[in-house]
Amino acid sequence: MEESIVKKRIFVAGHKGMVGSAIVRQLKNRADVEIVTRDRTELDLLDQKAVDTFFANENIDEVYLAAAKVGGIHANNTYPAEFIYQNLIMECNIIHSAHKHDVQHLLFLGSSCIYPKLAEQPMSESALLTGVLESTNEPYAIAKIAGIKLCESYNRQYGRDYRSVMPTNLYGENDNFHPENSHVIPALMRRFHEAKEAGDAEVVVWGTGTPMREFLYVDDMAAASVHVMELDSETYQANTQPMLSHINVGTGVDCTIREMAETMAKVVGFEGEVVFDSTKPDGTPRKLMDVSRLSDLGWRYQVDLEVGLRKTYQWFLANQDNFRK
């Protein structure tokens, strides 16, 4: 007789977003997993009662909390109220109701912008709450710090096993390619592509080109998320502390915005000039993760920047008619 596998019911919150969809791709062929998703017409994550009813009815075993209001430097600067309010409410609703309905395992996805603007580089997990944040995305960062502290508080008080991962700047399929509100990689991919199509002589890149950023391809992020979620409790606890429980996810390698823009021009095939508009903000001067904690836990990235940009550009070309505005 065939043995029937008991499947874990895993709720991926934010499954239509860039990271959530990559986590679904990562888990969907697993025989021991049943993925549960709800789009925003079915479940409004800002609605506390609806989220609570969902957890009461669905018998969830694990949650990947990848739902978030996200955007680049301009969007964060322009809509700070939406960024702090929506992120705080979604985290509170999901984490509290998960606990209330006895979900023991949850992974919260944060961001490297939780670290102080002038944190020592590379930034280790212990840099959290040691200095002033970058002002352009402080409200978003405060919400993400609150998410880590929610997880730690339910762990300390109720013995939950809620973990957090802090990715560096991510890119890949299902990113937001909005010209102003997106992050630098999708913004430049679109701008270079449209300039190539139009035969333009130059493309404008914001800021001075000197800030340094570390970029991680989203399938690597999804793989790291599953890796961290599935570490046994003893290993996870041995490598973290109760009040310093988050884990950085990145490549440990960075480059200047200018270098990234040059790689982008090559990938897209734009042969004109790249010019910098220094009236636009640079944001934080450097953002490089110390990934030694994750590396000690047995994970390393696979996809280099140029390879990741090529994969993303293929996806862009195939899907450009459907972009969310």
Pick out the residues of the known binding site for NADP(+). Answer: 14-20, 109-112, 144, 167-170, 183
Retrieve residue 176's tokens: 């937001």
Burial of 315 from C-beta contacts in 10 A (0-12 / 13-18 / 19+)? middle
Q: Which amino acid is at 69?
A: K
Q: Which is nearer to ligand GDP, 10 or 113 (CB)?
A: 113
Pick the binder of ligand GDP from 69, 163, 183, 311 (CB under 6 A).
183
The nearest distance, CB 41 to ligand GDP, in angstroms, is 29
Pick the binder of ligand GDP from 282, 304, 310, 315 (CB under 6 A).
282
140 is catalytic: yes
Q: Which is nearer to ligand GDP, 137 or 312 (CB)?
A: 137
Please state the φ and ψ torsions of residue 294, each to the nearest 5 degrees.
-70, -35
The nearest distance, CB 221 to ligand GDP, in angstroms, is 15
The nearest distance, CB 238 to ligand GDP, in angstroms, is 32
Q: Which is nearer to ligand GDP, 87 or 97 (CB)?
A: 87
Give the separation between CA 167 and CA 228, rounded to whole angstroms: 12
Pick the binder of ligand GDP from 87, 169, 174, 225 (CB under 6 A).
169
Cα–chain-centroid distance for residue 45? 18
Q: Which is nearer to ligand GDP, 20 or 186 (CB)?
A: 186
Under the binding rule (CB under 6 A), the answer on residue 116 touching ligand GDP is no
Pick the binder of ligand GDP from 95, 184, 218, 289 (CB under 6 A).
184
**How many residues in the shown chain lie near ligand GDP by CB under 6 A?**
22
Site for ligand GDP in 53-112 (CB under 6 A): 72-74
Catalytic residue among 64, 115, 140, 217: 140
Sheet hosting strand 212-213, strand order edge to edge: 255-256, 212-213, 286-287
Burial of 264 from C-beta contacts in 10 A (0-12 / 13-18 / 19+)? buried
Under the binding rule (CB under 6 A), the answer on residue 257 touching ligand GDP is yes
Under the binding rule (CB under 6 A), the answer on residue 167 touching ligand GDP is no
Retrieve residue 267's tokens: 């990938």
Give the separation between CA 241 and CA 196, rounded to whole angstroms: 50
How many CB atoms sit inside 10 A of residue 317's CB? 10
Site for ligand GDP in 211-230 (CB under 6 A): 211, 213
Give the separation between CA 165 and CA 23, rounded to whole angstroms: 13
DSSP string, 152-205: HHHHHHH--EEEEEEE-EEE-TT----TTTS-HHHHHHHHHHHHHHHT-SEEEE
- Interface residue list for ligand GDP (CB under 6 A): 72-74, 113, 137, 169, 182-184, 187-188, 205-207, 211, 213, 257, 280-283, 287
As annotated, the active-site residues are: 140
